Structure 1
């Protein structure tokens, strides 16, 4: 079974570029590059990854693409571009690359995520991306899932992907999250990454095992054909030492069929991001 990690990051850390990395995230305040991740991928039998932007910079996107060219494990890149730019088409042409398959913006960090999602210039930019068959990844928290549904309804000409379960409010439980995200799951062009839960704020006493109902809810409303495993490495390093996203997702999918597991761990990512077939060898991980 081919295994793809649909969501990981690399960066050369500078405080001005990665302002979202706060003082209590010391483990992330360092350069985190392919050689650091490689052993982890081998340990969990991951043959390929999708490398995702972590700051709002076209320069970072160019660097990620250069890094991807030099790194056999990276199969696609989700970058960043200024969607509201009058010169968007020229910017897309300037960063065009065979490994660039999608874009993302950290909407959750906007002063008003709802206003950003409704902005006419932003929406025109997303329409342009979809015309050129770029995936768009939606990064919002539970506070703006309603607006994310409206956004997704407007943009149904190509694939959209919800990052990190839409960052649920874990204090309200999986049933509440399921109700929130069901309208998004009803849109067949929207997939969801099974990622990020371990680092969302938890009520006191909530263990990793207590997160399994969120996976169960996601399986029920998205189905195995629209879910993708993502580690969110290195952000997942913020979880407790005895917790990791690979083990958590394996627990959540243990009762699924081989074909269903294969879809979540690689098949769906290959379809959505148009990944090239993997030449799986003993050293290609």
Structure 2
């Protein structure tokens, strides 16, 4: 499929604009970003103006964007919340990182608890633990986090590797009143093999489990076919109403410009009718995060 076919697919599916469910902002001069290195090819600062310029190139209007905290400090969380308050809906709702290091063990939201307690609008908490145990048994306070999120109507996001997806399914089963969103299909740049599909199927068996079509694209020559296999498996297992488009910008800008990420995602998906396309591109994110309403 030619690159422009992605944009044609979007128009053909009659989507109601885009709510990007996964972007990042940061300013390394204002905060510590633990993973940031100069050799990653990323800007030292990515702010709302940069986001606005990127999404302006999209083949369909971007109505809002969910800003996911890039690292794990309270200072960064408060900075991100200020950007959303001043510049929403680009960025709009914020999802903060879960950090249960000593000093946060008496708060269900960990590091983010102080921010939430101050009345800052927080749509969800992300559990970013791809380096932890496959069964997530070494993540402190996990059930308390889920209970707190469910009680306050917030979303649990998970950034996990494929081997951890069954544990996410078990966790969702223990907390049936909680909306769970798996970032990057639990796959990222990996191979959508049978074991990944089986693991995603276990997650999909939980009615309030969702997944983001984000962080999938690479620069490999035949990457379009790999992403198509992953995207179509996700549609088969979860259905369009439990999938969300996310650009993973600006991380994705190392692979392709914003407009191409949108087009490549559209090209990877099967043909969707109007309601299904709207769910993937905006409706599910609006429902879960209150974005773009």
Deviation digits for residues 250-273 of structure 1, max 9, x if unmatched?
113462112211111111111111
Would you say the 8 A contact 2:242–2:284 is kept in 1? yes
The 1:127–1:117 alpha-carbon spacing in structure 2 relative to 1, beyond 3 Å, is: farther
Shift of 1:88: 4.0
Does 2:230 align with 1:211?
A: no
Distance (whole Å) between structure 2 residues aligned to residue 242 and residue 144 of structure 1: 29
Q: How far did 1:2 drift?
A: 3.3
Question: Which whole-Å CA distance do the structure 2 matches of 1:169 and 1:63 have between them?
Answer: 29
Comparing 178-187 and 268-277, the one that deviates more: 268-277
Correspondence list, 1:23-62, <5 A:
24-26=39-41, 28-44=42-58, 45-62=61-78
- Which protein, 1 or 2, shows the higher relative CO under an 8 Å CA cutoff with sep ≥ 6? 2
Q: CA RMSD in A?
A: 2.7
Aligned-pair CA distance for 1:116? 4.5
Mapped partners of 2:226, 2:135: distance in 1 = 34
Unaligned stretches of 5+ residues in structure 2:
1-15
Distance 1:209 1:4, change over 3 A: same
Corresponding residue for 1:281? none
Alpha carbons of structure 1 residues 260 and 174: separation in structure 2 relative to 1, 3 Å? farther
Q: Which residue of the partner structure matches residue 94 of structure 1?
A: 117
Label 1:17 to 1:208 Cα distance change in 2 as closer, same or farther (>3 A): farther
Report the equivalent of 2:94: 77
TM-score, normalised with respect to structure 2: 0.82
In structure 2, do the counterparts of structure 1 residues 180 and 115 end up closer, same or farther at CA, with 3 Å as the change threshold? closer
SS at match of 1:7: strand
Mapped to 2, the partners of 1:24 and 1:74 lie a distance apart of 26
Counterpart Cα distance in 2 of 1:24 and 1:79: 26
The 4+ residue runs of structure 1 with deviation greater than 6 A are none
- Length-normalised TM-score, structure 1: 0.84
- Could you tell me how far 1:39 is from its partner in structure 2? 2.0
Tell me, which stretches of 5 or more residues in structure 1 are unaligned? 278-285
The aligned counterpart of 1:105 is 127
